[in-house]
Amino acid sequence: MRFMIVDDDEVIRTMLSDIIEDYDLGEIAGEADNGSLIDTALLERKKIDILVIDMLMPIRDGVQTVKSIKADFTGKIIMLSQVENKEMIGNAYSLGVDYYITKPINRNEVVSVIRAVSEHMQLKNLVHNIEKNLHTALRSNNSAEIANTIRHTPLPLTIRQKGEMMLTEMGIGGEKGCKDLLDILQFLQKQEQETLLQKDFPSLKIIFTKIAEAKLGQENTIEIQKEYKALEQRLRRTIFQALVNLASMGIIDYANPKFEEYAAKFFDFTEVRKIMLTLESNEKVNMSQIHINSKKFIKVLFMEAKKD
C-alpha cells in the first residue's frame, strides 16, 4: 500500500511514517502540511492507495480537502482529529472518510485501522477481479475459457469478510464493537450449520453469553458476566454510531447509495429520521433518546452476509 500523510504537525507525520514502516504496512509516497497541496492529480500520479489526513489544518482543512477529491479518488481515506464529537465524526464519514482515528495517536489503534483498511481494499479488489474475469469469460462464450476462469477464481468471501465490508461501508469498521459483530457472525453461521437456526434465531442473551464464553472459557462465571455487559455496551455504541453515520449521509445526499442500501434495512426509519432532524437542527445527538434495536441489526447483518 502507498500512503500520503497530510498533517500540519511534523511530529504527527513522523510518528505515522515510523509506525507504517516499523510494522511493514506499506510505503510513504508523500507528505504535506496542509490540504491545499493535495489534489486528485497528485494522488493519481503518486499512485496513492490510502490518504491519511488531519481534520483541522490551516489554509485548507481535511474536510474541505476530502470534499474536493472524493469524487475522483478511488483509494481509502483515514481522518485524524482530536475532535470526538459524534456529529462531526458522522459528517466526516458521510463525506467519504473510511476510518477515523482520534488524537493523541495510539500506535496499536493506527496499526489496527490501517490493517483493516488494507484488508478491505484487498477484498474489494478480489470481488472486482472475480466479476471482471467471469464477465470476460461469459462474453467469449467459450466453455473451456469459462471452466479455466472458474478453476482460477479465488474462493468466495467468508461471512466474516462480507460482514466487514458492510460494517466498513457504514463507517464503523474501526469501532471497538466491529470485532464483536464479526465474531457473532461466525458464531451464528456455526449454529446454523449445526442446528435449525433459521427456525429459531437465538436471543441476544444466548449470543452474548456464547461469545463471552468463547473468549474467557465457560468456568469464569463472574468474568463472563462482566464481559457480557461490556459486549452489550460496545455493540450499542457501535450500532448507534452506524445510525449517526448513515443519517449524516442522508442529510448531505438522500440518494447516497450507502444510505439507500443500509438505513431502512438495518434500522427503523423513524429512528433514522429522528437523528437526521436532530443533526439538521445542530442539536446534540444522545444515544439515550434513540431506540437501538441490536437484535435487528445483528439479524439483518447475518442475513445479508450469508447472501451469495
Question: Do residues 1 and 121 make contact, with C-beta atoms less than 8 angstroms apart?
Answer: yes
Measured CA to CA, the distance from residue 156 to residue 130 in angstroms comes to 9
pLDDT of 90 > 90? The answer is: no
For residue 249, give the nearest of 164, 166, 162, 169 by alpha carbon. 169
Which residue would you say has higher pLDDT here, 155 or 115?
A: 115
Measured CA to CA, the distance from residue 107 to residue 109 in angstroms comes to 6
The pLDDT, as a whole number, for residue 94 is 76
pLDDT of 181 > 90? The answer is: yes
C-beta contacts of 125-132 below 8 A and 24+ residues apart: 126/154, 126/157, 127/157, 129/154, 130/154
Measured CA to CA, the distance from residue 269 to residue 156 in angstroms comes to 32
Which of the four pLDDT bands, split at 50, 70 and 90, describes residue 304?
very high
pLDDT of 4 > 90? The answer is: yes
Which residue would you say has higher pLDDT here, 99 or 308?
A: 99
Q: How many CA atoms lie within 13 A of 70 on its CB side?
A: 16
Q: For every residue of 206-233, which 3-state class applies, written as one string? A: HHHHHHHHHHHCCCCHHHHHHHHHHHHH
Percent with pLDDT over 90 in the chain: 38
Which residue shows C-alpha cell 466487514? 164
Residues 6+ apart with CB under 8 A from 231: 180, 208, 211, 212
Range scoring the smallest mean pLDDT among 106-110, 207-211, 233-237, 302-306: 106-110
CATH 3.90.470.20 for domain 2-106: no
Which of the four pLDDT bands, split at 50, 70 and 90, describes residue 150?
very low
The pLDDT, as a whole number, for residue 85 is 67
Q: Please, what is the average pLDDT of the chain?
A: 84
Q: In the chain, what are the domain boundaries? A: 2-106, 117-152, 159-306
Which of the four pLDDT bands, split at 50, 70 and 90, describes residue 30?
very high
pLDDT of 231 > 70? The answer is: yes
Average of per-residue pLDDT across 166-172: 86
pLDDT of 45 > 80? The answer is: yes
Range scoring the smallest mean pLDDT among 92-101, 134-143, 168-177: 134-143
Range scoring the smallest mean pLDDT among 23-32, 50-59, 280-289: 280-289
Average of per-residue pLDDT across 71-91: 81
Range scoring the smallest mean pLDDT among 111-125, 128-142, 238-252: 128-142
